[in-house]
Amino acid sequence: MQLHHQAESLLTQKLVSLSVLVKPALFIAACISSASLYAETYTVSNQQEFNQAVSKLTAGDNVVLANGIWPDFEVVFTGNGRENAPISLSAQTQGQVILTGQSNLKLSGSYLHVSGLVFKDGFTPSNEVIAFRTSKNQLANHSRVSQVVIDNYNNPDRHESDSWVSIYGKHNRFDHNHLVGKRNKGVTLAVRLNTAASQENHHRIDHNYFGPRPILGSNGGETLRIGTSHYSMSNSFTVVENNYFDRCDGEVEIISVKSGKNILRNNTFFESRGTLTMRHGNGNNISDNVFIGNGVDHTGGIRVINRDQTITNNYLEGLKGYRFGSGFTVMNGVPNSPINRYHQVVNANVSHNSFIDVDHIHLAAGSDKERSAIPLDSLFSHNLFVNRNSQAPFSVFDDISGIQFADNLSNQLDNNLIKQGIKADRVSLERASNGLLYPANEHSETFGASKQLNPIAKEATGVNWYPKREPEVAFDSGQTHTVSDSNALVAAVKAASAGDTIVLTAGDYAIEKIIKINKTLSIVSEQPKQAKLTFSRPTLFEIQNGGSLKLAGLTISGENSLDSAGNTVVRTSKWGMLTNYRFSLLDSDISQLDINHSFHFFDSGARAFARDITIANNRFSNITGDLFRLNKESDDLGIYNAEYLTIENNQFTDIEGALVKLYRGGTDESTFGPHLIFNNNQLISVGNGKRNKQKASLYLHGTQVASISGNNFTQSAGINIEHTTGEPITQVTDNQFIDTKQPQVAELYAVGTSTAVIRNNTTTFSNDRK
């Protein structure tokens, strides 16, 4: 290496002495040629060798990490390359260098290039997995990270915040990377503008695969953020293009733009819950993006806030989201807004966009006493609005005289609130070769997105050497194992693979151990209700991290349970589950949970989160506790225990506690749930126990969507609903209440008439109960 530097020095001296005789272009070419000629490649096999190599790096050099597992490796990559002679760090073979445990990557200097690494089976020991800086003042510039994978590399505490990627400095590129499974709190990728050295940065973020990000169940689940509110009046000039956002469901903001003069173009959003939100900052350009919802709940499009935003040539189809997560939202602002609130929309230009089967377009959204600044000087022109169900998508929440509609086209829409500037006509659609829908009539082609739009495909993003797997294992997708006794059942659970089904033959199964579920598993009876489970531990099933459980056709009795208070049939780990779980109970009998008081059926631990719980066609009887305790997040930070709880066609008899305790506290508006569907159930003597403090058969606090319909409540405690924030949707319809109080809805924050719909219910009392 020393001889290399001496030779390069002598050559440089000769070139300098000759520079007066040759043209400058030839001199530069000679220097580049010399750097390439003497570039070193260091193949390293351990961290000590890597650190030694980094200390020697000059322009054009390469560091190659040998294939294998690199545990607890905090990579610090520094150096100063040149535009045509970058310094590179790469894998010996792409995808075969695995950084695990407490590993991360920090880079600083100039013209650095990192590629081919995989982060999995661990989490970062710092605030970032990848940081374009090594210290507060040592940033990366003109550097690139490409073809890197971060796969489920999460802190085990889901509410311990970190970012996977933080881009500092200027003129950096992050491209063709694969990021999937961010489960803990914190943005997946953040562009930082916290110093002048990182503002007006001209970064490029392109051709990345942002794979499924599960529902977080609280604020802090953005996939991409550019800036923060504190620096939002600064310009970033970041370009985000040709990325694929695949079911990025973390929270209401998929992308949160919090700076100015950014370009977001030609990105595809596939079945992602939430929106591309211009939360802070002015003068952003949103163009040529494609949003495909396929009718998935809460899929959204674009939310507009602030000044001088341009939204043009975007295509939005099949979006079901509403309110702040709607297909298109123009917000009201706060007069003289502080930097972290809502600045007024002024001079928004919304043109040549296609809105196809978009359920909701909200104008002047969020209007209240604080957000009273209406949109001004804004224009919707040459847009296409087609809803094939003929329902107009527009909702207006305040004065929209500051929004002009001109030269737009729609099909015939019922109850359209926009009376000017939208021509209603018969519009038939055809799907073009790019997969998008366009008017079949050529005279309508000037409206909506261009046929030249070329949506980025999933296969064109990320890397081609790492699979894009489905995020969850489906129930009943694996092998089937039949067992006939309790020991065989416990052994089969332990030995099974994710997706397997365990079939119980007819008979009694006396379980003496807690059955721990850490994979997706189904346990079903071969003959309906002919397999009977009893248990002698405090719980029968414990759903642990990575676990999901389906039970079907079983009989479960508490007759042999411990004579102590607080037993449960199913519980989650008591604290800190990272992965979202699923639970289903179908066609089963649950009885005699009464050996002592407070014998519950299902009890969630704190910081556990269910994607969905489905309870259908079961019978529950003689239970001294609650059935579903999803009320452990009592710190009022917008956190909750379950996204979807569906309870249909069940019979409940002699239940002392509540059937449901579902709690989401606080005023945060970043989430969509919880959701409750409670339909066509029969309740007899439910919720009357002295330990049921809420005196309710259903207690819902902060539930965002509740449908309670077609149920029969007899001699039971009533329904107690407490609305908090987020304009909750509550419908209590077509129920029969016999010797049961009518539903009670309390508005804890909102002023005025309750938004709850309570209709077509019947209430009757016997003479001695009036």
How far is it, in rounded angstroms, from Cα 707 to Cα 646? 10
Mean predicted confidence (pLDDT) in 419-431: 94
Looking at residue 106, what is its pLDDT? 98
pLDDT band at 768 (very low <50, low <70, confident <90, very high): low
Mean predicted confidence (pLDDT) in 282-311: 97
> Helix, strand, or coil here: 491?
helix
Give the bridge partners for 39, in sequence order: none
**Six-digit token pair at 496?**
């099974």
pLDDT digits (tens, 9 = 90+) for 124-175: 999 999 999 999 999 999 999 999 999 999 999 999 999 999 999 999 999 9
User: Which of 429-443, 477-491, 743-757 has the least mean pLDDT?
Assistant: 743-757
Residues ≥6 apart with Cβ < 8 Å to 703: 662, 664, 673, 674, 675, 676, 721, 728, 730
pLDDT band at 539 (very low <50, low <70, confident <90, very high): very high
Residue among 725, 753, 746, 730 nearest 366 (CA) = 725
Q: Where are the alpha helices (DSSP H) in 423-504?
A: 486-495
pLDDT digits (tens, 9 = 90+) for 731-762: 999 999 999 999 999 988 776 677 899 999 99
Phi/psi at 15 (5° precision): -65, -40
How far is it, in rounded angstroms, from Cα 352 to Cα 80? 45
CATH superfamily of 40-460: Single-stranded right-handed beta-helix, Pectin lyase-like (2.160.20.10)
Residue 299 has pLDDT above 90, yes or no: yes
User: CB count, 10 Å around CB of 478?
Assistant: 18
User: Are 149 and 117 contacting, i.e. CB atoms less than 8 angstroms apart?
Assistant: yes
The distance in angstroms from the start CA to the end CA of the chain is: 96
Residues ≥6 apart with Cβ < 8 Å to 110: 80, 81, 140, 141, 142, 143
Distances (CA, A) of 755 to 213, 457, 706, 730, 751: 31, 41, 12, 7, 10
From the number of C-beta atoms within 10 Å of its C-beta (0-12, 13-18, 19+), residue 6 rates as exposed
pLDDT band at 258 (very low <50, low <70, confident <90, very high): very high
Reported residue count of the chain is 770
**Strands 437-439 and 429-431, bridge-based pairing:** antiparallel
